């Protein structure tokens, strides 16, 4: 197998001469430049480019010799190469298409036109929870309800809600914080819980509310109020959505421009 390595000067200059010849086939300067871009190699690094060019030509020669050896199924190789080619075309096309189609302006416009999707009514809540579980007997459930009512009675008589929560609540995540749940979105937990919570006046506690988790006493600390997510917080989600929509539409357009017919497969 013959290798002819030409001076890297051809690559660095503006001439169109080939940069290598492998088994009688020339490697054009333009082809090798695309290879350098694919490998993220700067054409300004002369010594590195020379080494890469030598390796590139050597691998080209090796592949050519192997294909000419008769040891490989040329059709199988062709199919695999063509699959890689198709995937590369698809990836590069959509990288370019979507970068141009979905820019910061498109994202900002979508955010402005769909503001309701990125805002929610939230309230700062606390609760006391007496848990129930499916395997509990009626007597055990009744005992939990009694505890909840006793806790509510203490609050109604003036005991501090946070102190009662620390003493009796079985929600290990919030009990140590006086039952504080932070700001919660309406409907985020349970319909009955949410309805009771968002009907309260600030500073007030609810009656005992039953959910699948157990018996709650809920306190509205602050709110409710509408909270809007800033653009920066949802920018990535919007970009993903718009790119997917644009990609689906472009695939449909492209497929309408080409005829595709499939025969019935038979063994």
pLDDT at 198: 93
- Whether this prediction's pTM lies above 0.75 is answered by no
Per the DSSP assignment, residues forming a β-bridge with 209 are 216
SS3 annotation, 11-42: HHCCCCCCCEEECCEEECHHHHHHHHHHCCCC
Residues 242 and 48: their CA atoms lie apart, in Å, by 41
pLDDT at 16: 55
**Residues whose CB falls within 8 Å of the CB of residue 54, separated by 6 or more in sequence, listed in order:** 5
Q: Which residues of the chain have a pLDDT value below 50?
A: 1-15
Q: What is the CATH number of domain 120-228?
A: 3.10.50.40
DSSP 258: S
Tokens of 193: 């819980």
pLDDT at 136: 94
Q: Is 224 left (phi over 0), alpha (psi -120 to 50) or beta?
A: beta
**Residue spans per domain, the chain:** 3-72, 120-228
């Amino acid at each position: 197998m013959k290798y002819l390595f030409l001076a890297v000067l051809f690559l660095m200059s503006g001439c169109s001469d080939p940069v290598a010849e492998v088994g009688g086939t020339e490697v054009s300067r333009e082809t090798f430049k695309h290879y350098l871009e694919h490998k993220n190699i700067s054409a300004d690094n002369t010594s590195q480019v020379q080494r890469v060019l030598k390796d590139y030509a050597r691998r080209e020669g090796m592949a050519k010799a192997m294909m000419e050896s008769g040891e490989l199924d040329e059709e199988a190789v062709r199919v695999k190469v063509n699959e890689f080619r198709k995937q590369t075309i698809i990836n590069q096309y959509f990288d370019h298409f979507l970068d141009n189609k979905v820019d910061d302006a498109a994202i900002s416009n979508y955010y402005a036109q769909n503001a309701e999707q990125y805002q929610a009514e939230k309230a700062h809540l606390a609760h006391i929870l007496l848990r129930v579980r499916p395997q509990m007997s009626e007597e055990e459930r009744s005992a939990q309800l009694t505890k909840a009512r006793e806790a509510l009675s203490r609050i109604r008589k003036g005991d501090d809600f946070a102190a009662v929560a620390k003493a009796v609540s079985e929600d290990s995540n919030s009990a140590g914080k006086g039952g504080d749940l932070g700001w919660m979105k309406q409907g985020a937990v349970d319909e009955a819980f949410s309805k009771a919570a968002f009907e309260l006046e600030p500073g007030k506690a609810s009656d005992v509310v039953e959910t699948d988790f157990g018996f709650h006493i809920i306190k509205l600390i602050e709110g409710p109020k509408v909270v809007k997510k800033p653009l920066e917080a949802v920018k990535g989600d919007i970009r993903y959505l718009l790119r997917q929509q644009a990609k689906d539409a472009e695939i449909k357009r492209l497929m309408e421009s080409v005829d595709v017919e499939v025969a019935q497969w038979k063994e």
